Structure 1
Amino acid sequence: MEDQFSQPMQRARAAVRALHRLETLTRTSSARRSRPSDGHPDGPGTMPPVDIEAGPDVSAERASSWNPGQVGHHGLLASTRALNASQRRRNLSGASNTSRLPDGRALLEGEVGAATPDNGAAVPQDGAAPEGHEAQLAWQRMALPVISALHFQRAVARRTQSSTGEATRTAPPVPGHAPGLLPARSDARVLLHLFTSNILNVLLLAIPFGWAAHFAHWPAIAVFVLNLLGLVPLALALGELTEDLAIRFGEVVGGLLNATFGNVVELILSIAALTKGLFTVVAMSLLGSVLSNLLLVLGCCFLFGGTRFKEQSFNMMVNKACCSLLFMACIALTIPTAAAYMYSGTVGAKPLANLSHATAIILAFIYLCYLLFTLKTHSAAAAVPAEGEVPETPALSLGAALLMLGGITVVVAVCSEFLTGALEEVSQQSGLGQAFLGLIVLPIAGNACEHITAVFVAWKNKMDLAIGVALGSSIQISTFVLPLVVLVGWIIGTPFYLNFDPFVTIVLTLSVIHAYFVSSDGNSNWLMGVQLIGTYLLIALLYLFVPNFAPNTNHA
């Protein structure tokens, strides 16, 4: 009886050795191709794990206690057939690698056959098995499917573990799956990141001090400076929240949101100054925002980008469309200004108010046409190309985004109220004219985040995006914010006319022409940036050294 089972045991040991060789070759080939091993998925007929490291006797012992019927179609022939198919797939996919795995069935059967001594026993032609041959076949049917199933099970385990780990590390967020209405936990994480991811957010600490300075009656300069610094991170947060809502609502609604809240700091500052009768500050702050974006920001983009790259190129069509819109806005401002200046005896307050209101409505309509042009009819031409761009999804829930947008807008309104309340006293104490504070100081603080963003993307050679930030903000202010301030003044009974100082209007028109000629060929370098920045400094020095310049701003 012992001789009867010795040959099957030798076959089982040989099969285990063959499995070790096959696994070694499989690992070597997989490492060369950097591909996970293929294998059968675990099914109802999969053999439980067998510890081949414990030796062939243990494997054979477990095989003897296992029901061969559980294997089913995963028997020896099916397993080796699937193994050979898997090897063929590897060979086809790794065509560049000429090394091939040995045939699985041949390896197993060769090892088992070599381990069986030739005792001369042959199967008779009538089908009767010799003595011991029946038990030998039973052991072979049990042992070899166990080994084949074990190989495939371990291969599947390795492949599943590697793919799961890779997916856990690199799986991107699924596009189109926005947060719901109020998922509080995810919103808290996003808001924490929003207020801690930028170094400018340190200036948020200035907000409570600025409010305390107002109520404690600190010096006017302290109230002005603290509230002015607090507006910088608030403008950054408003921009992030507006972009998040724009992703959720689409391009058209997103463009309107960006127009409304993208320059909400300038809008609230202007309305707060308008309610206090600071017409010079209102007019100069709006025109100063256009000039700072057109000359200072665009010049810094050309300068810093040109110091890193010898020459940078951008979309000429977008540049021409922006400059033509700005030139049209200059014409719209020049007409009432020239009429009031040249025909001051015949043009009274009523005709000037009607002309200003009509001009504001036309400018707002043209801005809507500009949105239609850039977002719909010519969106492909105006789009900024991006390599490997992934569709964006909103980070905040709708409720949290709207709540934060409203809350930050209220804080901006309070800071603007305190700031404008101290502005007149600051002008008297510091010797700086209201025209200089409105034209230079307020626009730089209100647009600080946009300035930094534009320069940063220009440094990365994304000039289309940089010009879009600089010129786009100028267009929003001149064709949307400025007309809106005129209409708001009309509604609240504090008329604001489009009657600016003629010198400022001429300077604005010449600046638009200068910016267009500098960038008309679609290329930029650092020298162009120096020219634009120099033009801005010349304008700033005039209002710095002549504090009471622009005496007739916004008077009928």
Structure 2
Amino acid sequence: MNKVFALLVLAGVPLSILGGLFHWPSVVMFAVYCVTIIALASYMGRATESLAIVAGPRIGGLLNATFGNAVELIISVFALKAGLVGVVLASLTGSVLGNLLLVAGLSFFVGGLKYKRQEFNVYDARHNAGLLTFAILVAFVIPEVFSLHMSEGETLSLSVGISVIMIILYVAALYFKLVTHRGVYQHKSDEVEEHEEPEWGKGKAIAILALATLAVAYISEKLVHTFETVAESFGWSELFIGIIIVAIVGNAAEHASAIIMAYKNKMNVAVEIAIGSTLQIAMFVAPVLVLISLFFPTSMPLVFSLPELVAMATSVLLMIVLSNDGDTNWFEGATLLAAYTIMGIGFYLL
């Protein structure tokens, strides 16, 4: 598989540059850009995994989620610059749904096919449940409800205030988990880490990470300019492109990493990637995008559509119910995947 991704990068990056220079058809270039970004994301995932070998499941999962979400952030910034606020909000929704239902679902399902039961830290699951409830059911719902009785300026001011609070709380949550209460809430499911050799040395991993991020930034800008043409060609809505296409492409790195970790029965890492990435999207990436949008002609309030809010809220509730016991199996994974499919069909038909 690594050889396949290497070939895709070697072919995809030059084709992306040539296609942009010679203005090849947007539909063709959309496919080239998406495949190339996914291939580059695999390198970002391998680089972060090498850097995280000795860091433990929490920091390893955080690194995977952070650099996986870097792709999402880069695509979203260029989309905001192009004035595609709807696509950005939809891609944030898609990231939440994708991580909670698709990534976690595939991880539980694939791991469950190999192992009858898989356990993970129940204390982390309960801690994450509280943060998910705050991020989605409080911080995302409040602007939508209050905006009904506010002007656009007041709604944007509320969004900025909420964004600052969410960033502060997210940083505090990391400090709580990694510093003040590190090792306090141990559970029998915590894996005994075996000595592993990283695939790449520290210097090489950092260099690959930097180069892949630069390449993704360049291709992402080109990808954004194909959205309108692709939407017209396939009859896709802006909502569907953001929720399904951009979210899957933007989160490809942690998708693969979480499934591989689950197959290796490293469920603490898999869950940390899936849920940790969701929290990072909701409590850090979304607020940062709101603040960045203030420097562009079109600002982005933290106001989602009703279908987006309902989909995210039900995803959070389903994940909390299934994960709160710190135990999972393939059927719970299938349940999450079924929910993702149902929502995907709904957004496609909207």
| Fold agreement, TM-score > 0.5 | yes
The whole-number CA distance in structure 2 between the counterparts of 1:355 and 1:516 is 28
Structure number, greater radius of gyration? 1
The whole-number CA distance in structure 1 between the counterparts of 2:27 and 2:56 is 43
Asked if residue 206 in structure 1 is aligned to residue 9 in structure 2, the reply is no
Asked if residue 326 in structure 1 is aligned to residue 132 in structure 2, the reply is yes
Superposed CA deviations along residues 156-180 of structure 1, whole A, max 9, x for unmatched, are: xxxxxxxxxxxxxxxxxxxxxxxxx
The whole-number CA distance in structure 2 between the counterparts of 1:450 and 1:257 is 10
Aligned to 1:58: none
Superposed CA deviations along residues 64-115 of structure 1, whole A, max 9, x for unmatched, are: xxxxxxxxxxxxxxxxxxxxxxxxxxxxxxxxxxxxxxxxxxxxxxxxxxxx
Aligned residues: 346
One-letter code of the match for 1:210?
S
Distance apart, 1:453 and its partner CA: 2.1
Aligned to 2:119: 313
The whole-number CA distance in structure 2 between the counterparts of 1:322 and 1:459 is 22
The whole-number CA distance in structure 1 between the counterparts of 2:202 and 2:325 is 44
After TM superposition, the structure 1 = structure 2 runs for residues 22-33 of structure 1, keeping only pairs within 5 Å, are: none
Asked if residue 376 in structure 1 is aligned to residue 184 in structure 2, the reply is no
Q: Is contact 2:75-2:250 (8 Å) kept? A: no
Superposed CA deviations along residues 303-345 of structure 1, whole A, max 9, x for unmatched, are: 22222222222211111112221111111011111112x32xx
Aligned to 1:276: 82
Structure 2: tracts of 5 or more residues without a match = none
Q: Is contact 1:433-1:544 (8 Å) kept? A: yes
Asked if residue 234 in structure 1 is aligned to residue 37 in structure 2, the reply is no
SS of the counterpart of 1:263?
Answer: helix
Change (3 A) 1:519 1:406: closer
Change (3 A) 1:439 1:458: same
Matching residue within 528, 532, 537 for 2:341: 537
After TM superposition, the structure 1 = structure 2 runs for residues 38-187 of structure 1, keeping only pairs within 5 Å, are: none
Change (3 A) 1:260 1:529: closer
Q: Is contact 2:126-2:324 (8 Å) kept? A: yes
One-letter code of the match for 1:339?
F
Change (3 A) 1:246 1:450: closer
One-letter code of the match for 2:133?
F
The whole-number CA distance in structure 2 between the counterparts of 1:369 and 1:394 is 32
Aligned to 1:479: 283
Matching residue within 131, 142, 148 for 1:335: 142
Q: Is contact 1:305-1:458 (8 Å) kept? A: yes
Structure 1: tracts of 5 or more residues without a match = 1-195, 547-556
Distance apart, 1:460 and its partner CA: 2.7
Asked if residue 521 in structure 1 is aligned to residue 325 in structure 2, the reply is yes
Matching residue within 189, 194, 199 for 1:389: 194
The whole-number CA distance in structure 2 between the counterparts of 1:251 and 1:531 is 25
One-letter code of the match for 1:515?
M
Q: Is contact 2:163-2:287 (8 Å) kept? A: yes
| Higher relative helix content | 2
Q: Is contact 2:191-2:268 (8 Å) kept? A: no
SS of the counterpart of 2:325?
Answer: coil
Aligned to 1:454: 258
Matching residue within 144, 152, 168 for 1:365: 168
Q: Is contact 2:47-2:200 (8 Å) kept? A: no
Question: Which TM-score applies when normalising by structure 1?
Answer: 0.58
The whole-number CA distance in structure 1 between the counterparts of 2:68 and 2:153 is 33
Greater RCO, CA 8 A, separation 6+? 2
Q: Is contact 2:61-2:270 (8 Å) kept? A: no
SS of the counterpart of 1:379?
Answer: coil
One-letter code of the match for 2:192?
E
Q: Is contact 1:221-1:422 (8 Å) kept? A: yes
Q: Is contact 1:310-1:525 (8 Å) kept? A: yes
Change (3 A) 1:420 1:491: same
Change (3 A) 1:492 1:248: farther
Change (3 A) 1:254 1:463: closer
Note the aligned Cα RMSD (angstroms): 2.7
Asked if residue 499 in structure 1 is aligned to residue 303 in structure 2, the reply is yes
SS of the counterpart of 2:336?
Answer: helix
Superposed CA deviations along residues 225-277 of structure 1, whole A, max 9, x for unmatched, are: 10111111222222343455567999999998666534110000000110111
The whole-number CA distance in structure 1 between the counterparts of 2:182 and 2:3 is 31
The whole-number CA distance in structure 1 between the counterparts of 2:120 and 2:62 is 25
Q: Is contact 1:454-1:469 (8 Å) kept? A: yes
Aligned to 1:406: 210
* Greater mean alpha carbon deviation, residues 484-493 or residues 359-368: 484-493
Distance apart, 1:462 and its partner CA: 2.3
The whole-number CA distance in structure 2 between the counterparts of 1:425 and 1:297 is 29
Aligned to 1:549: none
Change (3 A) 1:419 1:478: same
Matching residue within 293, 310, 314 for 2:99: 293
The whole-number CA distance in structure 1 between the counterparts of 2:202 and 2:219 is 27
The whole-number CA distance in structure 2 between the counterparts of 1:249 and 1:460 is 17
One-letter code of the match for 2:83?
G
The whole-number CA distance in structure 1 between the counterparts of 2:199 and 2:113 is 36
Q: Is contact 1:268-1:413 (8 Å) kept? A: yes
The whole-number CA distance in structure 1 between the counterparts of 2:199 and 2:52 is 9
Change (3 A) 1:388 1:496: closer
Percent of paired sites with the same residue: 35
Aligned to 1:133: none
Distance apart, 1:217 and its partner CA: 1.8
Change (3 A) 1:531 1:259: closer
Change (3 A) 1:390 1:318: same
The whole-number CA distance in structure 1 between the counterparts of 2:265 and 2:307 is 36
Superposed CA deviations along residues 379-417 of structure 1, whole A, max 9, x for unmatched, are: 22369834353387794454x555444332221111001
Aligned to 2:229: 425
Aligned to 2:25: 219
Q: Is contact 1:210-1:222 (8 Å) kept? A: no
Asked if residue 434 in structure 1 is aligned to residue 241 in structure 2, the reply is no
